[in-house]
Amino acid sequence: MSEVDEFLSGGLRPVTCDCGNRVLVKKNSLQHTSVQWLSDTRSCPELCGPGSALVPTCLRLRDSIEKAVREGTLEVADD
């Protein structure tokens, strides 16, 4: 794997949101999270549902990522 490939995809781990969407996630720090969607974001009820123009992010996905960190299935790189 090249340095560029490692930077872009190294450390990504699967996380499933409670709505069923799957993403790949890397926690570079507690504040910095990289997310790569594995499906079209149109299947996210928070990003594309009623009132979605007012939602800059999917809070359900954020909760799922934080749960994965708490449970130890997703590591924080600088931890």
The whole-model pTM stands at 0.76
Confidence of residue 7 (pLDDT cuts 50, 70, 90): low
What is the rounded distance in angstroms from the CA atom of residue 53 to the CA atom of residue 34? 22
Q: Where is 22: in which H helix or E strand?
A: strand 22-27
Q: What is residue 42's predicted lDDT score, i.e. its pLDDT?
A: 79
pLDDT 10s digits, 17-69: 988 889 999 998 888 898 888 877 777 888 887 766 665 678 899 999 999 99
- Half-sphere exposure at residue 19, Cβ-oriented, CA atoms within 13 angstroms: 18
Query: Domain limits of the chain?
Result: 3-71
Residue 61 CB neighbours (<10 A): 23
Cβ partners under 8 Å of residue 28, min gap 6: 34, 76, 77, 78
